[in-house]
Homo-oligomer: A and B are copies of this chain.
Amino acid sequence: MSISDISTSIGNINLSNPFILASGILDENGYTMKRILSEGASAAVTKSIGMEERNGYKPPIVAIDDPIFINAVGLPNPGILNVGEEIKTARESGKPVIGSIFGKDENEFIELAGKMEEYGVSAVELNLSCPHVKGFGSEIGGDPNLVRKIVKGVKGAISKPVWSKLSPNVTNLLDIANAASDSDALVLINTVRGMKIDIYSKKPVLSNKVGGLSGSSIKPVGIRSVYEVKSNMDIPVIGVGGIESGFDAVEYIMAGATAVQIGTAVWKYGRAVFSKVTNELLEFMGSEGYGKIEEFRGIALK
């Protein structure tokens, strides 16, 4: 039996396998990204980068109760001006590096995207899940007008592909997805807002109290989001949320995803998760007789 072809491409970005390192996980340090790319990830998205250097929240930044995983890292980042060297180091891997950015408005996003393009990223990923001051308690990604402006603005300003990463913490995901429809791809989903209280210290565990739930608990939310968008729009989608195995990735691909990202599973399986999921995907395709990913992409939508 010949081995299946698991390559895929998102626009002009060719990936040797569908597994991309998600933003915020082991992607602050260029040497780390380079190692993960050499160990099997087909691309890496950087930690989300903003205008200014930020330390992020004080620890605890994670509240873990297997399989529950909640984080509130607080967007620590060196500031856009200090990240060029890390991206350069990561790019020595020869694989695509995607620059994730966050800002408080359209103008910041445009400036950040321009810098990322200078640093040689293959695409820019807009993290639209940072807190939005108006309508407190919610995120930029919950406001369709703001999303439309940011996406249009960045698309007009750079020539590299623009991916929009959307939040599931919204009343109507399709409204937001439509607002972001100028993007070259949508990345679904970011974390789900959650909290953990420790009953012996009687306090929220995270220093920021509220955090983002990720990992296997949110896979159903991610699958639903990808399916909902792909049922209604014709735009490439990158699935993310709770992928721990090649079989989880198949579920996303059957819901219509072109590629997937992996974050929290690194906690369970270490960097080796990338070779694990690749083997599992090959195993599935071999046993089910699939030669290429396209043969089952979106098949559950029919």
Contacts and interface: CB of A to CB of B under 8 A. Distances in A.
Interface of A: 67-68, 70, 135-138, 142, 169-175, 192-197, 199-200, 202-204, 209-210, 213, 216-221, 223-224, 227-228, 247, 250-251, 254-255, 284, 288, 296, 299-300
Nearest to A246: B199
A67 B171 CA distance: 25
A37 B204 CA distance: 33
Contact of A68 (B192, B193, B216): B216
Contacts of A221: 192-194, 213
A223 B202 contact: no
Contacts of A255: 195, 197
A213 B199 CA distance: 25
Contact of A300 (B135, B202, B210, B220): B202
A138 B70 CA distance: 25
Contacts of A136: 174
B254 A197 contact: yes
Contacts of A175: 135
A172 B224 contact: no
Contacts of A70: 220
Contact of A193 (B197, B224, B300): B224
B138 A251 contact: no
Contact of A135 (B171, B200, B224, B251): B171
The 8 closest A-B pairs by CB, nearest first: A194-B220, A195-B224, A142-B171, A217-B217, A138-B172, A199-B250, A195-B223, A170-B171
A214 to B, nearest CB: 10
Contacts of A135: 171-172, 175
Contacts of A224: 193-195, 210
A209 B226 CA distance: 13
10 contacts: A68-B217, A137-B174, A142-B172, A170-B170, A192-B192, A192-B221, A194-B221, A195-B223, A197-B255, A202-B296
A191 to B, nearest CB: 10
A65 to B, nearest CB: 9
Nearest to A250: B199
Contacts of A227: 195, 197, 204, 209-210
B138 A199 contact: no
A173 B137 contact: yes
A224 B205 CA distance: 12
A251 B216 CA distance: 22
